[in-house]
């Protein structure tokens, strides 16, 4: 079997101590750690001298710009039309409220004033009906009193009899006429 590990790298003792500390910390052999480091730098295309990792920053900025572009596209496609429609609905609601306040409230005021005038008219009608009822009762009382006087007159006339003089009859008639006038 041929040994594939024929290459070697020379470095200082201080660097070897750091390298060994890292290998122990990660729990790997120095050879395995070295192979993984090479694979890492090869795959990520990072420069080990770039301690600030500008490539990572650039990638993050690029992704951030893509997200912002996506959000702006969504804003233009969805949010702006929704805002326009909400503004239209808001304006129409304001118009409805203004019309309600101007037309309906005026109509309600007219209806209330009409109701007040109807109430006053009804009160006048009630007074008139009460007056009519009172006059009807007065007329009924008057009729009853008249009937009573008439019956008294008839009985008084019959009590005079046939022999009464015309003068007595005339006095009796005048007396009852005076009583009817007093009703």
* Dihedral (Cα; 155, 159, 162, 166), 10-degree rounding: -80
Is the distance from CB of 30 to CB of 19 less than 8 angstroms?
Answer: yes
Give the model's pLDDT for residue 120. Answer: 92
Q: Distance (Å, rounded) from C-alpha 161 to C-alpha 137?
A: 36
Q: Distance (Å, rounded) from C-alpha 82 to C-alpha 68?
A: 20
Is the distance from CB of 30 to CB of 20 less than 8 angstroms?
Answer: yes
Per-residue pLDDT of the chain (183 residues; tens, 9 = 90+): 677 777 888 889 999 999 999 999 999 999 999 999 999 989 988 777 776 667 677 888 899 999 999 999 988 888 889 999 999 999 999 998 998 888 888 888 889 999 999 999 999 999 999 988 888 878 788 888 888 888 887 777 777 777 777 777 788 788 888 877 776
Neighbours of 53 (CB within 10 A): 13
The predicted model scores a pTM of 0.33
Q: Where are the beta strands (DSSP E) in the chain?
A: none
Give the model's pLDDT for residue 49. Answer: 78
Domain ranges, ordered by start, for the chain: 11-45, 146-182
Give the model's pLDDT for residue 136. Answer: 81
Give the model's pLDDT for residue 156. Answer: 77
Give the model's pLDDT for residue 1. Answer: 64
Give the model's pLDDT for residue 94. Answer: 94
Counting Cα atoms < 13 Å in the Cβ hemisphere of 5 gives 5
Q: Distance (Å, rounded) from C-alpha 58 to C-alpha 121?
A: 89
């Amino acid at each position: 079997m041929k040994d594939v590990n024929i290459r070697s790298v020379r470095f200082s003792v201080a660097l070897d101590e750091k390298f060994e500390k890292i290998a122990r910390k990660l729990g790997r052999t120095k050879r395995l750690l070295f192979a993984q480091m090479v694979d890492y730098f090869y795959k990520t295309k990072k420069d080990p001298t770039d301690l600030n990792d500008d490539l990572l920053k650039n990638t993050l900025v690029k992704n951030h710009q893509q997200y912002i572009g996506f959000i702006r596209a969504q804003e233009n496609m969805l949010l702006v039309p929704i805002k326009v429609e909400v503004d239209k609905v808001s304006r129409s609601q304001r118009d409805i409220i203004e019309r309600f306040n101007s037309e309906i409230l005026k109509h309600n005021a007219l209806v209330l004033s009409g109701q007040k005038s109807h109430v006053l008219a009804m009160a006048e009608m009630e007074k008139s009906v009460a007056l009519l009822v009172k006059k009807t009762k007065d007329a009924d009382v008057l009729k009853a009193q008249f009937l009573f006087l008439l019956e008294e007159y008839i009985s008084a006339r019959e009590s005079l009899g046939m022999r009464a003089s015309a003068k007595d009859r005339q006095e009796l008639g005048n007396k009852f006429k005076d009583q009817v006038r007093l009703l």
